[in-house]
Amino acid sequence: MWPWVLNLFLYFPEDKREYIPAAISFAVFFLMAVFTMRLIVVISRRQEKEAKQLEEQLLGKQDRQKQPPHV
């Protein structure tokens, strides 16, 4: 029974030109996915740099507070 049910969803057209719209659609969505991933990586790197700068600022303030006063 399962092979018959699965055959309902399989369709291989005789005219291979019917694949062209699917290929175009796939290419568009693939390029959008690549662009989105690159955007996420760029933003992540920028946030990482900002976090390191903030951490250095906070650690610098703590180091200055720990130093004993000069008498």
Does residue 39 lie within any of the structural domains?
yes
| Rounded average pLDDT over 18-32 | 96
Does residue 48 lie within any of the structural domains?
yes
Say if residue 68's pLDDT is above 70: no
Query: What domain range is 50 assigned to?
Result: 31-59
| pLDDT value at residue 43 | 98
Say if residue 30's pLDDT is above 90: yes
| Amino acid at the residue 41 | V
| Rounded average pLDDT over 34-49 | 98
| pLDDT value at residue 37 | 98
Does residue 10 lie within any of the structural domains?
no
Does residue 42 lie within any of the structural domains?
yes
The answer to whether the beta carbons of residues 19 and 13 sit under 8 Å apart is yes
Task: Please count the structural domains in the chain.
Answer: 1
Does residue 41 lie within any of the structural domains?
yes
Query: What is the 3-state secondary structure of the chain?
Result: CHHHHHHCCCCCCCCHHHHHHHHHHHHHHHHHHHHHHHHHHHHHHHHHHHHHHHHHHHHHHHHHHHCCCCC
